[in-house]
Structure formats: structure tokens, C-alpha cells
């Protein structure tokens, strides 16, 4: 298997794991917070919101720009 195929399989597995967590969070609301609740908790302050935007921009620049 080529390096490219390994990377694609890795991203697909991460996507499936993320979807599994979302489904589990919706099914068991008392055990796991939803993604929206988690993001709202993490970005309560202005500094955290700025940090989230900077992290998002960095990820976009490094993984999506070609």
C-alpha cells in the first residue's frame, strides 16, 4: 500500500470514529456531551474564541492549502 493510501485510510478511520462519537453522544446525552455543547464550553471566553480561530486557520493552512 502506498503512503497516500495509508493517509487516506487513516483520515477515513478518524472520520468514522468521530461519527461514532457523535452518534453515541446523541444516544447517551447523560454520558457524553455533544460537539456543540463541548465547543460552547471551550469557547466561553474571548481569548478561547480567538485561540480556536487561530487553530482552525492553522489547520486549514497546513492541511487544506495546496
Where the chain has pLDDT below 70, the residues are 66
Quick: pLDDT tens for 44-55: 999 999 998 999
Rounded to two decimals, the pTM is 0.51
Q: Count of alpha carbons within 13 Å of 66, Cβ hemisphere only?
A: 2
Q: What's the pLDDT score for residue 66?
A: 63
Per DSSP, the chain holds a count of helices (H) and strands (E) of 3, 0
DSSP per position, 34-60: -HHHHHHHHT-SHHHHHHHHHHHHHHH
Residue 49: which of 40, 36, 60, 38 has the closest Cα?
40
Amino acid at each position: 500500500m502506498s503512503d497516500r493510501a495509508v493517509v487516506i485510510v487513516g483520515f477515513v478511520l478518524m472520520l468514522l470514529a468521530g461519527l461514532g462519537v457523535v452518534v453515541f453522544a446523541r444516544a447517551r446525552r447523560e454520558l457524553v456531551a455533544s460537539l456543540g455543547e463541548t465547543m460552547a464550553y471551550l469557547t466561553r471566553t474571548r481569548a478561547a474564541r480567538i485561540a480556536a480561530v487561530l487553530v482552525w486557520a492553522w489547520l486549514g493552512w497546513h492541511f487544506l492549502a495546496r
